[in-house]
Amino acid sequence: MLELRRITAGYDRRAPVLHGVSLDIAPGEAVGLLGPSGCGKSTLARVAALLHRPDSGEVVVDGTPARGWRHRAPREQRTAFGVVFQQPRLSTDPRLTLAAAVAEPLRATGRRAEAGPRTAELAEAVGLTPDLLTRRPHEVSDGQLQRACLARALALRPRWLVCDEMTAMLDASTTAALVGVVEDYRRQTGAGLLAVGHDRDLLERWCDRTVTLESLTAPPGGPRAPAAGR
Ligand SMILES: Nc1ncnc2c1ncn2[C@@H]1O[C@H](COP(=O)(O)OP(=O)(O)OP(=O)(O)O)[C@@H](O)[C@H]1O
């Protein structure tokens, strides 16, 4: 279970973006998160994936409360998440080939020996041909680069996937292909999903349920949440 409990978070403690937001995602469940632009969906997605420390509230990952965020999160918790963002060019190192980008999480966790076969398997799953794997980000399209970002997110076989507007820049056929890859992975592994987006039709087709950020927000004056860890 991925539990977000009364999360207050933002970029200025005096003016948080999220106020007392709670959401539970069951293992294997797919939840779509909708809401107007700027309401804080990406912020919540980053908190859920332990990439942004909330001002208060708690994230509980498979029964263990998160005590650290980003590189301070324990490896076991950090690697429980695969995250894909909207803009693949902002989340890839321009110096790495696509093959190296896909293999990055394996190298970073000391599993270099697995990198070759696992990269080939992931590339096939996301539809990247061997010639594309040898190119650098500026030599491929946004859709091809996003395929590599999705492959990278799956490299460590995460139990939770967070897709933040993963398909917002993509055409209909690439969108369908990437959603298909996520769903195949979830069928095989039972991973849960938080998918953030603007496209209600897509999220309603893709997910078991959709929620709006507003519906997750506690009314003002509720009990105070405990402070978050580091
Ligand atoms: N790094 C940052 N520093 C300061 N403010 C930020 C930062 N990132 C986002 N914000 C602000 O926090 C608020 C919520 O942003 P967020 O990206 O979470 O919203 P969103 O619902 O995902 O928006 P969109 O649907 O447009 O992607 C916005 O007002 C935004 O300007």
**How is 81-114 classified by DSSP, letter by letter?**
EEEE-S-GGGSS-TTS-HHHHHHHHHHHTT-HHH
The residue-averaged pLDDT of 71-78 equals: 91
Instruction: Please identify, by atom number, the ligand 1 atom nearest to the C-alpha of residue 196.
Output: 22
pLDDT of residue 218: 79
Q: Render pLDDT for 89-100 as a digit per residue (tens, 0 to 9).
A: 999 999 999 999
Q: Render pLDDT for 9-38 as a digit per residue (tens, 0 to 9).
A: 999 999 999 999 999 999 999 999 999 999
| Cα 85 to Cα 161: distance, rounded to the nearest angstrom | 11
pLDDT band at residue 46, thresholds of 50, 70 and 90? very high
Pocket test for ligand 1, best of 21, 39, 217 (most atoms within 8 A of CB): 39
Q: Render pLDDT for 164-183 as a digit per residue (tens, 0 to 9).
A: 999 998 999 999 999 999 99
Ligand 1 contact via 40 beta carbon (within 6 Å): yes
Ligand 1 contact via 61 beta carbon (within 6 Å): no
Q: Which residue owns the Cα nearest ligand 1 atom 10?
A: 11
Ligand 1 contact via 41 beta carbon (within 6 Å): yes
Instruction: Please identify, by atom number, the ligand 1 atom nearest to the C-alpha of residue 46.
Output: 18
pLDDT of residue 219: 75
Show Cβ contacts of residue 173 under 8 Å, excluding neighbours closer than 6 positions.
none
Task: Give the ipTM.
Answer: 0.96
Q: Render pLDDT for 134-167 as a digit per residue (tens, 0 to 9).
A: 999 999 999 999 999 999 999 999 999 999 999 9
Report phi then psi at 84, rounded to 5: -125, 130
Ligand 1 contact via 35 beta carbon (within 6 Å): yes
pLDDT of residue 230: 60
The residue-averaged pLDDT of 74-89 equals: 94
| Cα 69 to Cα 230: distance, rounded to the nearest angstrom | 6
Q: Render pLDDT for 189-230 as a digit per residue (tens, 0 to 9).
A: 999 999 999 999 999 999 999 999 999 997 776 555 556 656
Q: Which domains does the chain have, with CATH numbers?
A: 1-80+160-230 (3.40.50.300), 93-157 (no CATH)
pTM of the model: 0.93
Ligand 1 contact via 16 beta carbon (within 6 Å): no
Ligand 1 contact via 17 beta carbon (within 6 Å): yes
Which residue would you say has higher pLDDT here, 23 or 71? 23
Instruction: Please give the DSSP secondary-structure letter assigned to residue 52.
Output: S
First to last CA, the chain: 22
pLDDT of residue 210: 97
pLDDT of residue 5: 97
